[in-house]
Structure 1
Amino acid sequence: MRLRGKVVIVTGGTRGLGRSIAESALAEGAKVVCAARSAGELALVREFGGDRVHFEPTDVRDLASVENLMTATVRHFGRLDVLVCNAGMSNDGMIATIDPERWTEVIQTNLIGTYYCVRSAVPYLRGSGGGRIIAISSALSTRVSPGASAYCASKAAIEMFVRSCAAELAGDGITVNAVAPGFVDTGLGARLSENDLVWEQVAGRLLSGRSGTGDEVGRSVVFLASDDASYVNSHILEVNGGLLWS
């Protein structure tokens, strides 16, 4: 129960990796607001009860929507302690041919959406006496992947944004870190492990010999959100099973 009494926002929290993060936080005693554009199947409400899980429709690309998420969270649960910026997307395409709107959409969602969430959450975290901000980066923040320039660029930028925010917010008792998953079996990563041709190329790069699980990433987020990580700040935690890259 490392997060007992804590209120956690997880953007993109209704499916994929976001749902795994929300489940991990709930299992550790937190109250969780799942923010996403659509509710999907909110089985979490049925499993943990409406007094511990709340869905708030949110588009992280829209500053007004994000600001409403923060006020709705405090109105519903009374405070905010942890923000997990997980909402993200990828539009694949070679840089010479990808439609500019599709490229820009990735930056708007992944990077600017993270900025909007952090900016809007800071006053509420200060009001709680401090807190945690955790962004979800990626192994591709530091590894070249042809055809994924927007995604790689957005995740690399998120990691520098995290370090900058950590420096600015440390005096408020707010730590800012990131988790950088490798190949996992949920969310965007599921497409890779389900493609036999791609998986054959990837498997040899994993020291652990397997994909990670959403739960393994979720527990890493819980660690950074908990008092166990009170002296961890401005850190990028790689959760990739020992990923080699040539």
Structure 2
Amino acid sequence: MRLAGRTAVITGGTRGLGRAIAERYLAEGANVVAAARSPYDFKEVLDLHPDRARLESVDVTSADSLGALMASARDCFGSVDVVVANAGVSRDGRVERLSEEHWQEMVGTNLTGTFLTTQAAVPFLKERGGRIINVSSSMATRVAVGAAGYCATKAAIEMFTKVSAIELGPKGILVNGLAPGIIDEGMGRALKNNDKAWEAYRTRFALGRAGRAEEVAAAAVFLADEASSYVNGHVLEVNGGLLWA
């Protein structure tokens, strides 16, 4: 129960990696507010932890929506201690044909959403110190043809994380990043189920397999608990040893 007594707010927390992190935080004793535009199938998590799990609707491109989310979490559980900025979207498209609409959607959700989540969290985390964990990607530092918008926004998130860590550290707030590699969840699962694409990528894994969502969630626990009390401004890659090229 490494997170007992703490309250975590997770954007994009109802499916994929966000849900895996929410479930692991609950298993470690935390109160969890999972926030998303759509609830998906989160009812079973709420049923398992009726006193410590809460579902909220949020628009991460809206400062007002995020401010209301943080206030609701504190009012419900008494504090906000950990904020995981996980909400994100990916839209395929080479530079020459990527639509402005999809570009703006990725910038708005991935990058601006992370920025606004941080701003909304600071007043609450300052009350007794806390953690911000920004979810990036291995694609922040590796070229992926057809993913200019996703790669660019994730790279920007990592630098935003490092600057935020320096600025917010004196306020008792630690800011770190979590950069998953190819995980058997969401986009990673789609890749694994594509026989031709998987054959091309399979040899790039030092461990011979894609990662599991629970392995990313375990790293998120480390960044949230006292074991990482002197880790600030770091981007933790969870990719099993990924040879990209």
TM bin (shorter chain): over 0.9
Is it true that 1:68 corresponds to 2:68 in the alignment?
yes
How far 1:188 moved relative to its partner? 2.6
TM-score, normalised via structure 1 length: 0.98
Partner of 2:176: 177
TM-superposed deviation, 1:187: 2.5
- Counterpart secondary structure, 1:218: helix
Amino acid paired to 1:47: L
Q: What amino acid does structure 2 have at the position aligned with 1:237?
A: L
Percent identity for Structure 1 against Structure 2: 50
* Structure 2 partner of 1:219: 218
CA distance in 1, matches of 2:131, 2:193: 34
Give secondary structure in 1 for the equivalent of 2:24: helix
Counterparts of 2:95 and 2:109 in 1: how far apart (Å)?
A: 18
> What are the residue-to-residue correspondences of 1:20-39 with 2, within 5 Å?
20-39=20-39
Aligned partner letter, 2:232 = N
Is 1:230 the counterpart of 2:229 in the alignment? yes
Partner of 2:110: 110
Deviation at 1:98, TM superposition (A): 1.5
State TM-score, norm by structure 2. 0.98
Structure 2 unmatched runs, 5+? none
* Matching of residue 47 in structure 1 with residue 48 in structure 2: yes
- Whole-angstrom distance in 2 between the partners of 1:173 and 1:189: 35
Q: Distance in 2 between matches of 1:84 and 1:214?
A: 15
In the TM superposition, 1:74-89 aligns within 5 A as 74-89=74-89
Q: Aligned equivalents of 1:87 and 1:189: distance in 2?
A: 16
How well do the aligned residues superpose, as a CA RMSD in angstroms? 0.8
Tell me how far 1:198 sits from its aligned partner.
1.2
Q: Secondary structure at the match of 1:106?
A: helix
Deviation of 1:111 after TM superposition, in Å, equals: 0.5
Partner of 2:142: 143
TM-aligned CA deviation for residue 56 of structure 1: 0.6
Structure 1 residue runs of 5 or longer lacking an equivalent are none
Give the whole-Å Cα distance in 2 for the aligned partners of 1:10 and 1:214: 15
Q: Name the structure 2 match of 1:10.
A: 10
**How many residue pairs were aligned?**
244
Give the CA deviation at 1:208: 0.6
